[in-house]
Amino acid sequence: MQLFKTVGIIGTGLIGGSLAQGIRKKKLARRILGVSRSKKTALLARKMGIVDASSTELELVKEADLVVFAAPVEATLRLAPSVARIIDAKNCLVTDVASTKYLVAWRLSKLFPRYVGAHPLAGLEKSGVRFSKPEIFQKAMCVLTPLASTDPQALSKIRRMWQELGSKTVLLDPATHDRILSMVSHLPHVVAFALMGSIPRGYLRYASGGLRDTTRIAASDPDLWNEIFLTNRTQLIRAIESFQTRISSFKKALSKNDRARLKALMQQARINREMLR
């Protein structure tokens, strides 16, 4: 079902490339355009057949009726004013896939009257267009973050797009999104990075599946996560403090040789883990 005539995707990496492939597979747009930071990525996206045309210049998306910011957060914020001067900002739908929402939604809603924030909870620890695939959105959750001023028709259309791509859509305000994601996504990455940074390299040869499973996301792109952490630092600091309290409870139980308390902490964690779908 065609929803758009021309979709312009700014940032043809893992998520942007996967989105382009999904839109093409589901025939949601007549044309797909991709803007990349590097000529190499732009050429690869075209060679892979992900986009109909590619460039490193924002002018490419001038005629789009949907523009998707799929670049890192800081790049999205930096490029948005230029895009607003290029497209028909009053009529073009604009969305993004940023992992933090409060700052992005506040800035982009001022520039684009038909902006709808979105965050597909999907991805891989690998990055780059060569790893992109539309299947990552299947059965994934996509959080939409409308504001009081959000155009209802724009929201409906963006929601339909994600549903057509196989995602379950939910609505959260940007601040609530950032608070929740600081706990369920950003904190786990901090913990994985910190854990791998705490283990002497000489010990790693003895690691089994448990460490690999626990720290898979420590292989994620540091540049990407640096931006995510810093643009949600207030909520993330609170999440880290909550984690520190829990770690201290384990340390205290061990110091006191408190078998019952130690077991209770693990029992509670086990129950919570079983709630994950």
Domains of the chain, start order? 4-172 (3.40.50.720), 176-274 (1.10.3660.10)
pLDDT at 80: 96
Which of helix, strand or coil describes residue 12?
Answer: coil
pLDDT at 271: 95
Cα–Cα distance between 101 and 64 in angstroms, integer?
23
Read off the tokens for 125: 């620890």
Closest CA to 54 of 86, 9, 2, 84: 9
Query: With a cut of 50, which residues of the chain have pLDDT below it?
Result: none
Whether the predicted model's global pTM rises above the 0.85 cut: yes
Could you give the angle at the alpha carbon of 66 between the alpha carbons of 26 and 153, nearest 5°?
A: 90
pLDDT at 127: 67
Closest CA to 1 of 21, 29, 20: 29
Give the CA count within 13 Å in the CB-facing half-sphere of 131.
Answer: 10
